[in-house]
Amino acid sequence: MSVRERVSLGTGFDTDDLGIAVLRTAFGNYLGATLFLTALAWFGLYWRLGFFSNDQFTFANTLVGVADGHLFIDRAVYGPASGASPGTYLVDGHVYGRNYGIVVVSAVWLVALEAVSLVADVRVVVTGLWSFTVIGAAAGVGVWLDRRRLCVLTGTAVGAAVFVGNLLVATPLSTYWYPLLALQFTTTLAAAFTAVVLYRLVSRRYTDRLGVAAGLTAVFATPLGFWASLPKRHSVTALFVVCVCYTLYRSREAESPVVARRFRALTYAWVGPVTWVHAPEGFFLLVAITAVDLPTARSNGVRDLFVVGLALSVSLVPFFLTNLAISGQPLQPPRLLPGYSGDVLSGDGTAGGTSTSGSPADDGQFASGGNVLSRILGQFVASYTVLLDPERIVRIFLRHGYTDSLASSQDAAVNLSVLESMPLLGAIVVYPLFAARRLIRGVSLRKPHFGGRTDPITAVDAFSVVYVVLLFGLALTTLPLHHMFTMRYLHPLYAVGIYWVIRIPAVRRALETAGRSAVAGFGTTMLVGGPLYLCAIAVGDLVLGEAVQLYALVALAVAGAVGCWALLDTAVGGFESVGAAVLGIAAGITAVYLLVSGITLFPDTGEFLLPLSRTVSERLHFMRLYGSTPSYW
């Protein structure tokens, strides 16, 4: 490893070989590490401390239990005193949560946080760490631009200035938030790694520049940034979906059969953690992998299948053990257990209700009981039927707006459609054009080959399509639904969407030949669009729903522009510079929304990780949005 890479990995010291191997495995190279730190710095800006939805009470209570050394919830520290927040289950008089994959990992951070709090002021530590993500990211940029000294010094100056600024307005970080902070750390890491893995996938196939563009898109221009610091399963499942794409690619690309087998096994190993977090998504991830991997593998010998099966089984061990400990049935995840709605925890003694009805809106796909297989089948049929309902499809994918099918208590227009959430997806309108061209040329049925094997990218293409089709089958029937914000049940679609956009030749051409236009478009939109959006909210006296839908309309217009350009450039060619600018603008408006929505539209309690974010949020708080002064948010 060169000195350049060694230094730029952000350590600053000669790391031993093991350390370097770990960093290489995690980030690939210094660019991956830089993207990672950039992501953390960006997510940190609007990292809120507060419960965004009430199943996060379950999450935090479960974590308190796990940190105490057991899987059940015995203290309802957060939410209702009965502990009956959504996503709790009752088994043998014990109350259990769900998403244990995230909870158990977060327990490690919680223990670390509590240990740190014994000797240091946690607020100072976290704001200091944030400043170091800025310094590290700046150092990485310095290596990329070959201006290391300048960038390190600038980064340190900015980091130190913000640190001092933070301290000037700092309030103590209450221990009340520690479990939440630990959970947020897990999901934020997952979101940051999603950018890294996308970078590695794209740069492996194409160029570093395109890889960096893909990684930055994940951070700034998709709902991945919206959910990064909100403790929900979505960031984590999206991460493992792109991990599958990456290792699937490596397994097809590798020359040596041993390496290929290793990556193939790894592809299946991602199923375990997803299943541990959310069993249905894990199961359908496995179905998608199998459907693509078996037909396209270079060999399906006994030895290959044994290794694959072993990797899958080992990855599922934590899931099985958790289920075994909770219900005694290794294959029965918490979601299939009777729901808890009673009063075990507040001390009334009587074991509470065990409602098994489980409405489809129960933040998930499966309720308890019944024949699981027929339920799944019913769910898929119902979901694909939605595709025949233009009204619902428009609401889900194009224009959400006010939706009168939602109950009157839940119809606040704070939700965005898929396209409004990620206007860059407008580019994928060119795919029908590709399909048509292929049909005309008559090459569509010939299997593209890569040295006698399936082209690795074809395998990833196939996987992405099969996975998204299954994801639709799992989720569409419940949509549109309240509290989706960015159609979060389809969350991994955004990570896959970045891949789909980068796969469009016109997009790659634009970014390769006119990268500067893209950066200029993005920067201008951020600098002008952010203040403009805030002015519109203040001057127009907007309420929350209006502010969200104003963004949605602008995003739709930009998505339309992206789509028109992609079609035009693909059909005629020669609009690289315009195209790059339009892509930059589309990314920019999403970034503006992430920042403004995180800081002023949805500030939860008004408490933030960074004291300065809190101050900015209070200054930008428009009486019309909340009415009260910030301490009463």
The token pair at 492 is 């991994």
The sheet that has 72-73: what strands, in order across it?
A: 72-73, 94-96, 89-91
**CB-CB contact of 77 with 61 (8 Å):** yes
| Least distance CB 315 / another protein (angstroms) | 37
Q: Which of 421, 420, 394, 416 is nearest to 544 (CA)?
A: 416
159 vs 215, beta carbon nearer another protein:
159
Half-sphere exposure of 457 (CA within 13 A, CB side): 13
Which 8-state DSSP code applies to residue 184?
Answer: H
336 vs 544, beta carbon nearer another protein:
544
Distances (CA, A) of 514 to 168, 171, 506, 528: 42, 45, 12, 21
Does 549 bind another protein (CB under 8 A)? Our answer is yes
Binding to another protein, residues 197-226 (CB under 8 A): none
Distance of CA 61 to the CA centre of its chain: 23
> Which strand (E) or helix (H) includes residue 132?
helix 122-145
Measured distance CA(292)–CA(456) in Å, rounded: 11
181 vs 269, beta carbon nearer another protein:
181
469 vs 543, beta carbon nearer another protein:
543
The token pair at 627 is 């009415």
144 vs 384, beta carbon nearer another protein:
144
156 vs 577, beta carbon nearer another protein:
156
The token pair at 598 is 């995180």
Does 404 bind another protein (CB under 8 A)? Our answer is yes
Size of the site for another protein (CB under 8 A): 59
Amino acid at 194: T
Does 131 bind another protein (CB under 8 A)? Our answer is yes
Distance of CA 382 to the CA centre of its chain: 26
Dihedral sign, CA of 397, 402, 405, 409? Answer: positive
**What is the bridge-based pairing of β-strands 89-91 and 94-96?**
antiparallel
Measured distance CA(320)–CA(459) in Å, rounded: 30
**CB-CB contact of 152 with 142 (8 Å):** yes
Which residue among 173, 197, 198, 487 contacts another protein (CB under 8 A)? 173
265 vs 544, beta carbon nearer another protein:
544
Does 114 bind another protein (CB under 8 A)? Our answer is no
Binding to another protein, residues 504-543 (CB under 8 A): 540-543
Which residue among 42, 45, 60, 148 contacts another protein (CB under 8 A)? 148
208 vs 546, beta carbon nearer another protein:
546
Does 2 bind another protein (CB under 8 A)? Our answer is no
Does 468 bind another protein (CB under 8 A)? Our answer is no
Does 153 bind another protein (CB under 8 A)? Our answer is yes
Half-sphere exposure of 329 (CA within 13 A, CB side): 9
**In sequence order, which ranges of 476-575 are alpha helices (DSSP H)?**
492-502, 505-513, 515-524, 530-539, 544-571
| Least distance CB 47 / another protein (angstroms) | 17
| Least distance CB 132 / another protein (angstroms) | 7
| Least distance CB 197 / another protein (angstroms) | 27
| Least distance CB 545 / another protein (angstroms) | 4
Q: Terminus-to-terminus CA distance in the chain, angstroms?
A: 51
Which residue among 17, 25, 93, 118 contacts another protein (CB under 8 A)? 118
Choose the binding region for another protein from 26-34, 74-82, 148-156, 436-444 (rule: CB under 8 A): 148-156
Choose the binding region for another protein from 114-122, 233-241, 482-490, 516-524 (rule: CB under 8 A): 114-122
74 vs 546, beta carbon nearer another protein:
546
Which residue among 77, 429, 550, 620 contacts another protein (CB under 8 A)? 550
Which residue among 20, 160, 567, 620 contacts another protein (CB under 8 A)? 160
**In sequence order, which ranges of 221-335 are alpha helices (DSSP H)?**
224-227, 234-253, 257-269, 271-277, 279-296, 302-327
Residue 404: Cβ within 10 Å count: 7
Binding to another protein, residues 68-97 (CB under 8 A): none
For 273, phi then psi, to 5°, come to -60, -40
Residue in this structure with the two tokens 């959310």, named with its chain if needed:
278
- Contact flags string 586-615 toward another protein, x per CB under 8 A: ------------------------------
Distance of CA 78 to the CA centre of its chain: 25
Choose the binding region for another protein from 434-442, 483-491, 558-566, 625-633 (rule: CB under 8 A): 625-633
**CB-CB contact of 111 with 375 (8 Å):** no
Binding to another protein, residues 244-303 (CB under 8 A): none
> Which strand (E) or helix (H) includes residue 580?
helix 576-596
Which residue among 2, 69, 93, 149 contacts another protein (CB under 8 A)? 149
Which residue among 25, 350, 371, 409 contacts another protein (CB under 8 A)? 409
- Contact flags string 325-364 toward another protein, x per CB under 8 A: ----------------------------------------
Choose the binding region for another protein from 159-167, 297-305, 360-368, 597-605 (rule: CB under 8 A): 159-167
Does 629 bind another protein (CB under 8 A)? Our answer is yes
Choose the binding region for another protein from 81-89, 333-341, 581-589, 624-632 (rule: CB under 8 A): 624-632
The token pair at 463 is 């996987």
For 146, phi then psi, to 5°, come to 60, 40
Residues that bind another protein in the complex, under the rule CB under 8 A? 7, 12, 117-121, 123-125, 128, 131-132, 135, 139, 148-149, 152-153, 155-156, 159-160, 163, 167, 170-173, 399, 401-402, 404, 408-409, 411-413, 540-546, 548-550, 552-553, 623-629, 631-632
